């Protein structure tokens, strides 16, 4: 998957998530997706190539970085809890959707229960996860 397709795929997935909103708090060069005011995905070009920055569990983030050369520590984010995904061989729609959805679920899980738009423990399972 190339960089522009990566951005389109990630944005399309994020727009489908309940209560997700697009914001531009850092200017036009950054697309920031939030749920209930909390960031779960950022998109920009860094340096000069399209990237998607996502939240990930620390152990999973490490495993993803070790097994995929297109996944690196989070650009301008906490390197333990965030990853940067760029386009390339082996990056496909399924991987992008899985990583975006997991980032969203992690952020939702950190919200007060009354503010959670979905149950983060079950959302994304079943048919949706198979996409």
Cα(44)–Cα(70) distance, integer angstroms: 15
% of the chain with per-residue pLDDT over 90:
69
Q: Give the 3-state secondary structure of residue 131.
A: coil
pLDDT at 128: 37
Q: Is 33 left (phi over 0), alpha (psi -120 to 50) or beta?
A: beta
The model's pTM: 0.89
Sequence spans of domains, the chain: 3-115
Whole-number pLDDT of residue 25:
92
Q: What is the pLDDT of residue 47?
A: 74
List the structure tokens of 131: 């996409």
What kind of fold does domain 3-115 have according to CATH? Answer: 3.90.1150
Q: What are the tens digits of pLDDT across the range 47-92?
A: 789 999 999 999 999 899 888 889 998 887 878 899 999 999 889 9
């Amino acid at each position: 998957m190339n960089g522009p397709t990566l951005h389109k795929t990630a944005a399309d997935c994020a727009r489908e998530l309940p209560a997700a909103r697009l914001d531009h708090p850092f200017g036009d060069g950054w697309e920031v997706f939030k749920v209930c005011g909390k960031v779960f995905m950022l998109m920009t070009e860094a340096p000069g190539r399209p990237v998607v920055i996502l939240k990930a569990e620390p152990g999973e983030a490490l495993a993803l970085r070790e097994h995929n050369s297109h996944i690196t520590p989070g650009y301008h984010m906490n390197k333990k809890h965030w990853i940067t995904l760029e386009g390339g061989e082996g990056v496909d729609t399924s991987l992008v959707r899985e990583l975006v959805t997991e980032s969203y679920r992690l952020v939702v899980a950190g919200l007060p229960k009354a503010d959670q738009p979905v149950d983060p423990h079950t959302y994304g399972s079943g048919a949706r996860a198979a996409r």
